[in-house]
Amino acid sequence: MPHIHPKTTPIYQTSVFTFDDLNALEQYFEQPGQSYMYTRYSNPNSDELAEQVNKLEGGAGAVVTSSGMSAILAAVLGLCKAGDHVLCAEEIYGGSSALLTKELTRIGIEVTLVPTADIYTLQPYVQPNTRLLLLETMSNPLLQVFDIAQLAQQTQQHQIKLVVDNTFATPIITKPLSLGADMVIHSVTKYLSGHSDVTAGVVICEQQEDLQRVKQVMMVYGLNLSPFESWLAARGLKTLRLRMREHSSNALAVAQFLQSHPKVEKVWYPGLQEHPQYELAKKQGRGMSGGMLSFRIQDDKEAVNRFMQALQHIPFAPSLAGVATSISYPLGTSHRSLSPEQQQRMSITAGVIRLSVGIEEPEELIADIDQALTQV
């Protein structure tokens, strides 16, 4: 049989790999990474995805996981044990907040949510057992942009790790490790894969020691990603740069339209000059602001419902970052688990709609949104 050189990596859809004899088994343990044994530990497809994402983020290595949530879990458990303390930005994806405050507290990890106004003055929040600060490059859902370099100085001063969820920005827009972060996490489900057909996560580490701990957590807790999902995500990743340009360009056009519409009360998008972190977003984002935006119409659920029902081409889908545009309702989905007080404090009110802008023709998107707003 001739030697085959496939341009695309085949799918290694196997749960286990075979060995010739005991010598080969010993070699597996003595020379890690030279061969494979069990897909929960590693697989050529998950390794390829990890290597490609790590190359984009510029880390010491990456570990892929079964979802964005399991990536956050692997990162936190890689750095913390029972009795440790974690800081988390209050304005963050509701699932991240729920994982920390409702689940990890049950196994002895203490959590403090830091209000946005205090994020650059961590001193009052840091305790002797504080291990890390977790936040997002651009917050979900109101697109607060955080100064990663400034926060890295703070965390280094307090000798704690800075863990950044870079899902909204992607490494095409911002590379947190180059700005001083210690770990980066992504829901690969979103932009990295990009086609709404994969559920996956990844953790990228700046230091080998952290990488080995996160790998261990992934293996022992069984947080691994399947070969097929890995293959699909690696396939999607190949067009990330092209997609992010289109997402960003379209989102800016839609945000500018919404800003000028009489029925829209507020628009949150870092690419608008009125955004409070516009200059930071421009500098940290290489001139792109991503495909996510939020806007508020009147604070009335029925008005939101009428708007959603009137949309002809944009579906209501409680996720984000696919090539097709979709809308979501933070109060009823991503931030449902927060208390009414937290929701109010974060300005997530009944009229707030999150828009994940895809790569369609922007004129078509604007026309659909325009006609739907007549129902408000």
The alpha carbons of the chain give a radius of gyration, in whole angstroms, of 21
306 among known catalytic residues: no
pTM here is 0.95
Residue 335 has pLDDT above 90, yes or no: no
Residue 29: CB atoms within 10 Å: 8
CA–CA separation, 133 vs 114, rounded Å? 9
Top CATH class of 22-237 equals alpha beta
CA–CA separation, 84 vs 140, rounded Å? 26
For residue 166, what pLDDT is reported?
98
93 among known catalytic residues: yes
33-91 tens-digit pLDDT: 788 999 999 999 999 999 999 999 999 999 999 999 999 999 999 999 999 999 999 99
β-bridge partners, 62: 204
What H or E segment, with its residue span, contains residue 355? Answer: strand 352-356
Which band of pLDDT confidence, cut at 50, 70 and 90, is reported for residue 349? confident
| Angle, vertex CA 32, rays to CA 26 and CA 36, nearest 5 | 80
Q: Which of 153, 173, 175 is nearest to 164 (CA)?
A: 175
Q: Are 335 and 369 in contact (CB under 8 A)?
A: no
Plot region of 321 (φ>0 → left; ψ -120 to 50 → alpha; else → beta): left
Look at residue 263 and give its three-state secondary structure.
Answer: coil
For residue 337, what pLDDT is reported?
65
Distances (CA, A) of 179 to 126, 168, 223, 284: 21, 17, 28, 9
For residue 233, what pLDDT is reported?
98
Which of 12, 36, 93, 329 is labelled catalytic? 93
Which of 131, 175, 190, 213 is labelled catalytic? 190
Which band of pLDDT confidence, cut at 50, 70 and 90, is reported for residue 1? low
Q: Where in the chain is the domain with CATH 3.90.1150.10?
A: 240-373
Which band of pLDDT confidence, cut at 50, 70 and 90, is reported for residue 338? low
Which of 165, 175, 215, 243 is labelled catalytic? 165
Q: Are 162 and 131 in contact (CB under 8 A)?
A: no
For residue 33, what pLDDT is reported?
79
Burial of 281 (0-12, 13-18, 19+ CB in 10 A): buried
CATH number, span 240-373 = 3.90.1150.10
CA–CA separation, 376 vs 300, rounded Å? 10
CA–CA separation, 137 vs 146, rounded Å? 6
Question: How many CA atoms are closer than 13 Å to the CA of 182, on its beta-carbon side?
Answer: 26
Which band of pLDDT confidence, cut at 50, 70 and 90, is reported for residue 373? very high
| Angle, vertex CA 306, rays to CA 303 and CA 307, nearest 5 | 85
Q: Where in the chain is the domain with CATH 3.40.640.10?
A: 22-237
CA–CA separation, 204 vs 55, rounded Å? 10
190 among known catalytic residues: yes
Which band of pLDDT confidence, cut at 50, 70 and 90, is reported for residue 359? very high
Q: Calculate mean pLDDT across residues 106-110.
A: 98
Residue 197 has pLDDT above 70, yes or no: yes
CA–CA separation, 217 vs 324, rounded Å? 34
Q: Calculate mean pLDDT across residues 340-357.
A: 84
For residue 220, what pLDDT is reported?
97
123-172 tens-digit pLDDT: 999 999 999 999 999 999 999 999 999 999 999 999 999 999 999 999 99
165 among known catalytic residues: yes
CA–CA separation, 166 vs 135, rounded Å? 9
Question: What is the average pLDDT value for the chain, to the nearest integer?
Answer: 95
